[in-house]
Structure 1
Amino acid sequence: MTVRVLIADDSSLQRSGWRMVLESQPDLEIVGEAGDGARVLAIVRREPTDVVLMDVHMPRVNGLVASERILTDAAVRELGAPPRIVLATALELDDHLAEAARAGVFAVIHKDTDPESLFDIVRAAASAVDGRAD
């Protein structure tokens, strides 16, 4: 199964790093990149996406607000099950866990998560989409 991933961070360097790491895996496909949450929503409305790997802190629309919008958006649902959201932060995880849970986020991780753990989280999130298994 190929996992379709959208990367979102206001730092182009962070997006490039995630892209490079994730593209090293044959089963992970990057379907797009965004620098803010508004752009994320626009992309997932037209591009089937399994997992959104997104920074919590972005301009215009932050990752938490974008998560809520993605998971409740009718246009996104027309493409199938909404993507699972993995939020990333450079700050303390505890600062975002309650809000993330309320927003329906699959997981919150540190931005410096090692590649193997990132692969595992992205794959776990994808397997949770619409109840499908690896």
Structure 2
Amino acid sequence: MRALIAEDEFVGRKLLSNFLSPLFQIDIVVNGQEAIDAYKMAFEEDEPYGLILMDIMMPEVDGLTALAAIRDFEKNNNINTPAKVIMTTALDDAKTVIRSFHDAEASGYIIKPVIREKLYDELAKIGLLQK
């Protein structure tokens, strides 16, 4: 299964890549616009992403806006199996969590710093990892 990491910080990209590379084929982008573009390209190549890890605070287009665009693309193209999306962020406020799940239709939410066990627990919750 393909996974997309959308993260603007190098250390975060490296860490998430190390955690996910044993489990998924990984692609990495550095902002929300690139995440939207990569998602659409993967769909056009008939190799869609099953998982996206999306940072909320990124340049150009933030993660919540990018996820909303991806969900709109999925609906407009009658995609029956939408990507599982885990939001990753330093924001630990209830308003952002609610927006992630309700408005942007996220599958999961992880507060940074991301540790392997926390990520794997979240992957198990959304059905992408057997524990």
For 1:6 and 1:76, locate their aligned partners in 2 and report how far apart those are by CA, in whole Å. Answer: 21
For 1:75 and 1:34, locate their aligned partners in 2 and report how far apart those are by CA, in whole Å. Answer: 23
The answer on whether the counterparts of 1:51 and 1:126 sit within 8 Å (CA) in structure 2 is: no
When normalised by structure 1's length, the TM-score is 0.79
Any unmatched runs of 5+ in structure 1?
A: 128-132
1:20 to 5, 18, 27: 18
The answer on whether the counterparts of 1:46 and 1:76 sit within 8 Å (CA) in structure 2 is: no
Question: What code does the residue aligned with 1:67 have?
Answer: L
What residue number does 2:111 align with? 110
Question: What code does the residue aligned with 1:117 have?
Answer: K
For 1:80 and 1:45, locate their aligned partners in 2 and report how far apart those are by CA, in whole Å. Answer: 15
- Mapping of residues 6-45 of structure 1, within 5 Å: 6-23=4-21, 25=22, 28-45=23-40
The CA RMSD measured in Å over matched residues stands at 2.4
Question: What code does the residue aligned with 1:84 have?
Answer: K
What residue number does 2:54 align with? 54
Taking structure 1 as reference, are residues 82 and 76 closer, same or farther at Cα in structure 2, changes over 3 Å only?
farther
* SS at structure 1 position matched to 2:49: coil
**Would you say how many aligned residue pairs link Structure 1 and Structure 2?**
124
The answer on whether the counterparts of 1:51 and 1:122 sit within 8 Å (CA) in structure 2 is: no
The answer on whether the counterparts of 1:51 and 1:125 sit within 8 Å (CA) in structure 2 is: no
Runs of 4+ in 1 over 6 A off after TM superposition: none
For 2:38 and 2:80, locate their aligned partners in 1 and report how far apart those are by CA, in whole Å. Answer: 14
The answer on whether the counterparts of 2:57 and 2:63 sit within 8 Å (CA) in structure 1 is: yes
When normalised by structure 2's length, the TM-score is 0.81
Any unmatched runs of 5+ in structure 2?
A: 43-47
Question: What code does the residue aligned with 2:17 have?
Answer: R
Determine what percentage of the aligned residue pairs are the same residue. 24
Structure 1 window deviating more from structure 2 (84-93 vs 58-67): it is: 84-93
